[in-house]
Amino acid sequence: MKTIGIVVGSLRKGSYNRSVAEYLQSRIPEGYKTVFIDFGQVALYSEDLEQNPPQSWVELRKSVKEVDALLFVTPEYNRSIPGGLKNALDVGSRPYGQNIWGGKPGAIISVSPGAIGGFGANHHLRQVLTFLNVYTMQQPEAYVGNITASLNAEQTIVNEATKGFLDSFTEAFVNWIGKF
């Protein structure tokens, strides 16, 4: 059984990204396990701390090492990825030569209440993941814009077109994982 680590870029309670991630999690077929990789309490990266790394770094590194694939669901902050997500990527890529992200298949969905669906964040994250040697699925690209129109009051996805798109994305991602 392969394990998919789900990394949600937004730490906000009631996050639209978390709603999308939970929907995607519900669509993963049998034979796969999913776990959410939490980075909300990960201490800021400083090479000075590597001799005695904070427990939050140790836990993050361990949780990512244990997964076979990575699914990133992220908002866009100022045309890029959230700082907490970038910090988690940096912590997991160090010390040099011990990158825990690399060699795993991955996929990205950016989610936004805005019309362009987090396009900037999606591509900035793709750039970082390329350097970290995550085999990021190229197609279909996934920018979920106007997400608030797809959610009900309980933050559940109810829009059938959005569900259909996310279902096809999930199927493509599972097929992508199968190639590794």
Structure confidence by residue, pLDDT tens digits, 115-140: 999 999 999 999 999 999 999 999 99
Cα separation, 61 vs 166, in Å, equals: 28
Among candidate residues 40, 93, 25, 84, the one with its CA nearest the CA of residue 64: 93
SS3 state of residue 146: coil
Predicted confidence at residue 175, as pLDDT, reads 98
Domain architecture of the chain: domains with CATH: 2-178 (3.40.50.360)
Q: Measured between alpha carbons, how far is residue 140 from residues 94, 168, 169 in Å?
A: 30, 9, 6
Q: For all residues of the chain together, what is the average pLDDT?
A: 97
Predicted confidence at residue 53, as pLDDT, reads 97
pTM exceeds 0.95 for this model: yes
Cα separation, 118 vs 43, in Å, equals: 26
Q: Which pair of structure tokens corresponds to residue 63?
A: 């949780």
DSSP 8-class letter at 43 = P
Asked whether 122 and 108 are in contact (CB, 8 A), the reply is: yes
